[in-house]
A and B are shown apart, each in its own frame.
Chain A
Amino acid sequence: MEALKMRILAKISIGILCFYNIGQAQMGSPGNGETQAIALHPNDPMIMYAGAAKGLCKTVKGGKDDWPTFGLDTYSPRAVVVSQTNPDLLYAGTHEVGIYRSKDGARTWEEVNNGISYPEIRTMVIHPKNDQVVYAGTDGGGVFKTQDGGLSWAEMNHGLFDKVIRTMVMDPRSPDTLYAGTWHGVYKTSDGGENWSADPEGLYDVDVRTLSLDPTNSNIIYAGTQPRGVFRSEDAGQTWTAGARPLMENIESMAVDPANPTHVYVGTRAGVFISTDKADTFKSAGLRWSNMAWTLVFDPKTNPSTLYYGGVGGVLKTTTQGYQWEVTGPIRQ
């Protein structure tokens, strides 16, 4: 716990983070706390994972069960990735104790931190075709990469001058290309993390909280920032433009609708917003009460695509562009 205290003091002392979150006991939501991460099974829409205050929770009924905890009970998984080729293989990045791996659909876990020198994991991405390749972004130690399924990790920080990694995305068509959103702008690598660069003329010196790629066009990238709204790049990150009417809310998460990629959703501390014009303008998509949207994830397997929200309300979902949200846990009578 001492490490935890020191970490919080460090956060306060360098003035990086504000703490605007709220919380409430969630009887039907995963893990009795705020949901910080959601990961979907690549084939089965009934299976989902949630990183919660009380460990890694899993549903096999599309959320209509109690989301029982599947290990990591006293940790807070803040990033969870599932292999696209072997869905029983998962990696979970935790708040304070690094990375855990499960090879059996979260039934058992093993610590895989060899080479991780900064165990506060914030974000993870997994190679879509080679699940032995995983990247982990940390809250202050930059990026780590494994190429052997977590048995060893290497620091991949060359050119990365800001090591506070908020978010990462991988170009699925070119998996050596990754973007990292940091406290001070967007960094890009085209060689699997060997070298990172940030264009001083690009999106620089702004706190980038979330990044999303257009699933149909890898050149189109969206960056959600604090406090300057959402930026769009249509040339793979070389140049960025702000929307016509920037969304001046504290943005935390973002997702692009795979079925309609001009539709961009952002999760803020004032609810969820939708843009139907590639982030030029936004309007409310509900959950205006929610003071924290840790993550937004689309499930392209469903029709229409289901947008999942992870945050203070646990795991919620909408198929109506936010007009109506549903809970994913059972109703208590």
Chain B
Amino acid sequence: MKMVIILALGSLILPPSTPIYGQAAAVVDDSGFAGLQVIRCDAQLEPPAWALYERQMIDTLNRAGIEFYDTYVQADGSLEWKERYEGGMNSSDDAYEAFRGYSLLTALGGSEEIDRRHRLVWEGITKQFTRYGQIYREFDSNWDWMHHGEGYISLYPMGMVEPEDALFRDRSVRFAAMYIGEDPEAPNWDPEHKIIRSVMNGSRGPKMEWVKRDWIPTNANLTYYPLPYFDIPGVLGSTAWINDHPDNDQFGKLVKAMSDRMAKGDVPINLAATALIANAYLYTGDDKYVQWVKDYVGTWEKVTKQNGGITPDNIGLSGKVGEYTGHWWGGYYGWVWPRGGTDVVLAELTSAKVATLLTGDKRYSELPRSQMAVMREQGKLENGKYVMPIRHDERGWYHYSAEIAYPYVNLWYLYHNEDDWNQIERLAEADLKRDGQIGDSDLAWAYFVRGRNPDFPIKAFQSDFKFVAEKLNIIRNERGDPESWVDNKWIIPDPIRMDNLVRLTVGGMPIHKRGEMLHAQVRYFDGENKRSGLPPDVATLVSRIEEDWIQIEVSNVNQFESRKLIIQGGTYGEHQIESVTIHSAESSEAVPSPPTRIDARAFTMELGPGAGATVQLKLRRYENKPSYQFPWKL
């Protein structure tokens, strides 16, 4: 049965959509593609500039990714590099990280070849670093979740592209088993205290004692940071990291002290492991992963409460805070480290988003929010600018820095708490008052999706084109000696910048911190080709984000062929789409169609040649069980 809805003409939501010709119409087909409702749109829309930029950017990244791959990846998928690499605990994270945009690009509408190459290089890197000694059983032997998180960012989007790929599904389950107590060879999890046993963890389990060898060659880089401790006799400056003369072995003393005080027990950055567990859940739907996330995040909620609202940065093996440091501070990547509370908050953000995704419970946002408040409340005005302390030790709070907007935007775009928005507004207005523009890209995007920064998309794409051109220039002139390259070599020329594609197409935040997964308002699928991502020639722009509704601009820039766009609520179908309202670009007098009830996690939008519209989705957030699976298969 077909019900044809002729869209009445009404006012446009956004000015850039210029009507040209044709009839605005919507067709609801309740027997449409794979059980999804179908809304048809033939309203003609002159392709907006952002849409052309977006499609060109996708095409550019498709090609840039191949050029990068062909330059740095060998036939067997391994990276052009040293035959031997004796990198202690220092691991493969940078190698994997250099390809973090690949499968994500495919998941959003890039070519399938990009994802195929990513899977090839994943195998190559895994074998290469197994040979070097850092990877064991296809996972990092021992390293921290600061770095695991950076590397495995590239793992998760593969599930979005190929949810039924048995190889990566099985890997994901095996990797999760290392952390939930199901892998005897990797007893990272303490089920009694519900903690991860060590800051260095992985496929060989917790590493509770450190020796100098573990820190080579990382030690050479650490000379450029402050010391982790200032009370070790004979260790007076950061050059201790490189001084190991037999009569002056400061390096040995330093590592011994770190081993004694830091190696055993849990730290907040381990919270980034929750994304790895969610990854297994999104493939399998097994509720044991949900329980683990609840248990683990619950541990950190509990100790934060017990510590007067400040997240302690170390928990001993007995479950006691400060067991080896004597304080709630002093842990690895904790309050004493150079970025102090910033690292604590970012890991808490990763886990909060995962915990809410898996449980629907928004209370998890309180953990990172509260820590931002802890630091903010200690802040002060300095030269007219508000700064807050990010570090704490026996001297109290210190290291005053400008507030970063990233946590506030991250909280607001998913949790829609007006307190978070107030912080965003405070920082953005300060930028505007001081500089006449918003310098921080997260703030600028937040203002855009609240209708206050309409120039953002074009500027963002222009910036990205410049970025890609710079990277291609490096790639095309590469004549360096792989023998002198260091392990972050490939990150530098990596041209696949996804930040703005993520922001603009699906309404998400860029993912490049602390093992984040993608969390966005929507995700798209190509109904014709039955694959993840935007159909060819279709561009989308999430132009408004509110608590229970969002707005998307949709354009089929192809003037000859129809396209079938499937829109899903949330990256993993976690949001239920209650209804859809279409605003056509027919004329300035157009009025929106009546809302079409969907009440499903996804629907299909059939776009005629050259068609486009503004689409408003009413959402019930976090109502559904999330999954990598394509919506027509659920």
The answer to whether B480 and A286 touch across the interface, beta carbons within 8 angstroms, is no
Which of these, A35, A74, A289, A324, contacts B478 with CB under 8 Å?
Answer: A74
CB distance from B540 to the nearest CB of A (A): 36
**A195→B456 CA distance, assembly (Å):** 68
Residues of A within 8 A of B226 (CB): 331, 333
Which of these, A18, A53, A74, contacts B83 with CB under 8 Å?
Answer: A18
The answer to whether A289 and B485 touch across the interface, beta carbons within 8 angstroms, is no
**A324→B221 CA distance, assembly (Å):** 17
**A94→B480 CA distance, assembly (Å):** 8
Per-residue A-contact encoding for B449-479, CB less than 8 Å = 1, 0 else: 0000000000000000000000000100111
Residues of A within 8 A of B4 (CB): none
Q: What bracket does the count of chain A residues touching chain B fall in? A: 35 or more
Residues of A within 8 A of B86 (CB): 20, 22, 291
Residue numbers of A with Cβ under 8 A of B are 1, 4-5, 8, 12, 18-29, 32-36, 52-54, 73-76, 78, 94-97, 271, 283-291, 294, 312-314, 316, 322-327, 329-333
Stretch at the interface among B487-495, B509-517, B587-595: B487-495
- A-B CB contact pairs (8 Å), 10 listed: A1-B72, A19-B84, A20-B86, A21-B484, A24-B90, A25-B487, A33-B485, A53-B486, A286-B243, A327-B238
Per-residue A-contact encoding for B95-122, CB less than 8 Å = 1, 0 else: 0000000000000000000000000000
Q: Is B481 on the interface with A (CB-CB < 8 A)?
A: yes
Residues of B within 8 A of A24 (CB): 87, 90, 217-218, 220-221, 486-487
The answer to whether A325 and B84 touch across the interface, beta carbons within 8 angstroms, is no
Residues of B within 8 A of A28 (CB): 223-224
CB distance from B129 to the nearest CB of A (A): 13
Interface SS of chain B: loop
Residues of A within 8 A of B489 (CB): 23, 33, 53
**A289→B85 CA distance, assembly (Å):** 14
Residues of B within 8 A of A4 (CB): 80, 478-479, 482
Q: Is B239 on the interface with A (CB-CB < 8 A)?
A: yes
Residue numbers of B with Cβ under 8 A of A are 70-72, 74, 80, 82-87, 90, 94, 212, 216-221, 223-226, 238-239, 242-248, 251, 338, 399, 474, 477-489, 492
Interface SS of chain A: loop
CB distance from A25 to the nearest CB of B (A): 4
The answer to whether A21 and B82 touch across the interface, beta carbons within 8 angstroms, is yes
Contacts A24-B218, A95-B480, A324-B239 aside, 20 further interface pairs with beta carbons under 8 A come to: A1-B80, A19-B483, A23-B217, A25-B486, A26-B220, A35-B484, A95-B481, A96-B480, A96-B481, A286-B242, A289-B216, A289-B251, A291-B86, A313-B217, A325-B239, A326-B239, A330-B224, A331-B225, A331-B226, A332-B225
The answer to whether B483 and A21 touch across the interface, beta carbons within 8 angstroms, is yes
Which of these, B223, B482, B485, B487, contacts A327 with CB under 8 Å?
Answer: B223
The answer to whether B219 and A76 touch across the interface, beta carbons within 8 angstroms, is no
**A303→B483 CA distance, assembly (Å):** 34
Residues of B within 8 A of A285 (CB): 245
The answer to whether A53 and B481 touch across the interface, beta carbons within 8 angstroms, is yes
CB distance from B224 to the nearest CB of A (A): 4
The answer to whether B221 and A27 touch across the interface, beta carbons within 8 angstroms, is yes
Interface centre among A18, A22, A35 (most CB of B within 10 A): A22
Question: Known contacts being A28-B224, A289-B242, A331-B226, is A76 close to B74, with CB within 8 Å?
Answer: no
Residues of B within 8 A of A23 (CB): 82, 85, 87, 217, 484-487, 489
